[in-house]
Chains A and B, each alone.
Chain A
Amino acid sequence: MSDLSSADSVGLVIPETYRHQQPFALQCGETLEGFELVYETYGELNDQASNAVLVCHALSGHHHAAGFHEAAESRPGWWDSCIGPGKPIDTRRFYVVSLNNLGGCHGSTGPRSINPTAGTPFGPEFPLVTVSDWVRSQRLLADHLGIQQFAAVIGGSLGGMQAMQWAIDFPDRLRAAVLIASAAKLSAQNIAFNEIARQAILTDPEYHHGKYREHGVNPDIGLMLARMLGHVTYLSDDGMRQKFGRELKSGDLSLGLDVEFQVESYLHHQGRSFSKQFDANTYLLMTRALDYFDPARPYEDDLVVALSNALCKFCVISFTTDWRFSVKRSKEIVDALVEAGKNVASAVIESDHGHDSFLLPISRYFKVLSTYMNRLHREAGGAC
């Protein structure tokens, strides 16, 4: 049961929709006639519009970051532990904007939306979107909300990549970028995991070249496998050992091929529930956006030159057991920022929870984040 009355919850929230009614050219060369972004806001925008914080979601995230949509909702938004009154991103001070990215499947224009030129859903024909496209669409949303400059753009994993792209593409539109468990580009190993996940979906007989909805089916198995694989890579060996050990589902070994260990049952559950909620075409798009992210590329592969454009300060946080977006990846960002002479603070948080750590209320992590956010608030003269 949800706890709406809790003093540190943002309570009931109602998603809103921003409609962009002009053509929007994408990096891939295609143009969308227009688009919609579904978003939520928490807290109040101050008179100077200086206290806005943009939260960018990761691979399977969405706009519902905090609070509840209805009293009966069993779980709050995906980052509720971090956003709310008295929490690290304190909604008594900050006006938080959280959206579902273009290509998503939670209400923003994506593969499930109607393609206006065809009159049918985009499905697999939805054009490839990149982190740059997302950031440009987010900027249009910021314009719409009257936000000239964000106090901070914050994200974990793929969300951190968006924050970095903001700093490079629109340097005067943010004062701080907070990059959590992120990377300046994916490693070959990371792309490999994404490709296995994509192949799981693409080879599911129910995928039907992306036209599964027209066939009245869903590539559940492919999505489930993709999620199960993802999940294993988001956890750490130690974390899994602690959480599941070799516990059996029932008391005795049956020496069969059915689900036997707790960890199997957990992965099945995660995979199944994901396949009910998430759109396969969106999953393919989002993993591609991850793979292609490489902000240094237009700058002759020199991240230092790419980041030289930035005017904001940075906070870079990583987690010891994260092997999907390892500490080393974050260090590369920090080193480039130092070389570029940018203001940066970095922390490496001890955690057993692998990449998933960025979503968890780990005490030192939240201490670092709230200290950083308090400082931003203070530096703005308390006006944000």
Chain B
Amino acid sequence: MRADLAIIADLINPGARVLDLGCGEGDLLAHLQKTKQVNGYGLEIDSNNITTCIDKGVNVIEQNLDQGLDNFASDSFDMVIMTETLQSVKSPDLMLTDMLRIGEECIVTFPNFGYWRCRLYFILRGKMPVAEHLPYSWYDTPNIHLCTFRDFERLCRDKGVRIIERFVADSKHLNRPLMNLFPNFFGAIAFYRLGSGGG
């Protein structure tokens, strides 16, 4: 099983109502349906991904995240998930607000631009970092809003978003000791579990 799926599955209660924004090929939802009997829905715009989801029996809905989530009622889901997609939406800040409007809690994962390899790459080569967890060139990257863990946590604070849990990992979704000590330097990807209110 993919390590990231297991990490997220651990954060979800059995039978929860789950909305996965940018669900890709539906691996996470298929996994959650099987292991947690969730009532899950995924939003996706890639036609091949949608077909794959349909084939897997995942509830996939063709919808462009950048056109908003107004069609979902407030507090209509237990958990709204966005894995490695926040950095490619038009307005991550508004997205975060909307996610917490719809869901009681959210799980957000994204690549860390403050990862030491990115920093080193930039300093030594003077070029936009390309790494295992950030494989695109600057001109074709879907990642238009890259940030560091510190940036993200600052946004959460400004918006009054409560960070309930954070799990930092490398690009293979494994946690190593140094990461917990200096997450913004040694962590490549973070899993945030978020709630409304508080600091």
* B-binding residues in A (CB < 8 A): 315, 331, 334-335, 338-339, 341, 343-348, 364, 367-368, 371-372, 374-375, 379
Contacts and interface: CB of A to CB of B under 8 A. Distances in A.
Contacts of A348: 62
B47 interface: yes
Contacts of A368: 50-51, 54
Contact count band on B: 20 to 34
B162 to A, nearest CB: 26
B55 A371 contact: yes
Given A347-B54, A371-B51, 18 more contacts: A335-B71, A338-B59, A344-B41, A345-B50, A345-B58, A345-B59, A345-B61, A346-B60, A346-B62, A347-B50, A364-B47, A368-B54, A371-B54, A372-B54, A374-B55, A375-B54, A375-B55, A375-B57
Contact of A345 (B17, B53, B63, B76): B53
B39 interface: yes
Nearest to B76: A339
B95 to A, nearest CB: 18
11 contacts: A331-B71, A338-B41, A338-B76, A345-B50, A347-B54, A347-B62, A367-B51, A368-B54, A374-B55, A375-B55, A379-B57
A345 B60 contact: yes
Interface in B60-102: 60-63, 71-73, 76
A33 to B, nearest CB: 45
A341 B53 CA distance: 18
A346 B58 CA distance: 11
Nearest to A367: B51
Contacts of B53: 345
Interface string B25-64: 0000000000000010100000100110111011111110
Contacts of B55: 371, 374-375
Nearest to A331: B71
Nearest to A335: B71
Given A335-B71, A338-B41, A343 B59 contact: yes
Contacts of B17: 341
Nearest to B60: A345
Contacts of B51: 367-368, 371
B189 to A, nearest CB: 29
Contacts of B72: 335, 338
6 pairs of A and B residues whose beta carbons are closest in the complex: A348-B62, A335-B71, A346-B61, A371-B54, A345-B54, A347-B62
Contacts of B59: 338, 343-345
A43 B72 CA distance: 41
A343 B41 CA distance: 8
Nearest to A338: B41
Given A331-B71, A364-B47, A338 B54 contact: no
A334 B59 CA distance: 11
Contacts of B39: 341
A368 B39 CA distance: 22
Which of A345, A346, A347 lies at the interface centre, i.e. has the most chain B CB atoms within 10 A of its CB?
A345
A315 B72 CA distance: 19
B62 A339 contact: no
B24 to A, nearest CB: 15
Contacts of A367: 51
Contacts of B62: 346-348
A288 to B, nearest CB: 31
A308 to B, nearest CB: 13
B116 to A, nearest CB: 42
A331 B59 CA distance: 14
Contact of B61 (A338, A364, A374): A338
A344 B57 contact: no
Nearest to B17: A341
Nearest to A328: B71
Contacts of A364: 47
Contacts of B41: 338, 344
A338 B73 CA distance: 10
Nearest to A332: B71
A368 B41 CA distance: 17
A52 to B, nearest CB: 21
Contacts of A334: 61
B54 A344 contact: no
A343 B61 CA distance: 11
Contacts of A372: 54
A96 to B, nearest CB: 20
A5 B59 CA distance: 39
B132 to A, nearest CB: 32
A338 B40 CA distance: 9
Contacts of B76: 338-339
A375 B76 CA distance: 28
A291 B64 CA distance: 31
A37 B3 CA distance: 57
